[in-house]
Amino acid sequence: MGSVGKGEAILRQLSGNGDGGEGSKRWGKRKGGGNGYGNGNGGGGVVVGKKRVMVVIDHSTGAKHAMMWALTHVTNKGDLLTLLHVLPHHHHHHHTSRGGGGGDAPLLANSLGSLCKACKPEVEVEALVIQGPKLATVLSQVRKLEASVLVLSQTKPSPFPCLIRSSREEFVEECINKADCLTLAVRKQSKGVGGYLVSTRWQKNFWLLA
């Protein structure tokens, strides 16, 4: 099977490929055609190649935790990490910068990009700042950039999910169900518990200790 990076092993587990189940059939798209990293039907080998991991960022602590989790657990050497910051309509930015540079990109995207590059220099980092409706913008950028994996931050769920759901919960759920790639919603556990809770289309709040 060859050498498989830590990121591929985790993605295979989270996409339902670890037990021979149906899993994801879309998360291994690679430029040049064909599916890498397993085809999601429980069979076939894992093809290790460059992938684009997209992370939706904002000013929340949870978004930073999700970004660092994606960097350390999903990306491998040679991968591209895209930090996507979607601004509301009253902002007027549309800027891309690679490696954390760029003079007129918002400070948040640049600072987080620089942090990622410093922590894992073997991964290419770009910051993409776009104005528009959040859900539509994320879904369109996933398609346009052919992202292999989308990572989001998830908040602690409402104690009364049948009665009320936050806009962030709805946004995460819509991305998981509609994005054209494997989508992972990540929440860091408290210090007393440790690890991360990760939700996908097939698994809810899957606990990863590391």
Which amino acid is present at 168?
A: R
pLDDT on residue 187: 92
Whole-angstrom distance, CA of residue 86 vs CA of residue 88: 7
Burial 174-200 (b: 16+ CB within 10 A, else e): bbbeebebbbbbbbbeeeeeeebbbbb
Q: Give the C-alpha separation, 175 to 36, whole Å.
A: 22
Residue partners of 157: CB distance under 8 A and separation at least 6: 169
pTM score above 0.85: no
- Mean pLDDT, the chain, rounded, equals 76
Backbone angles phi, psi at 197, to 5 degrees: -100, 125
SS3 (DSSP) at 67: helix
Q: Return d(Cα 103, Cα 110) in angstroms, integer.
A: 9
Q: Catalogue all structural domains in the chain, each as residue range(s) with its CATH number.
A: 50-208 (3.40.50.620)
pLDDT in tens, 167-185: 888 999 999 999 999 999 9
| Interval 14-70: pLDDT, tens | 665 444 333 333 334 344 443 333 333 333 333 357 899 999 999 999 999 999 999
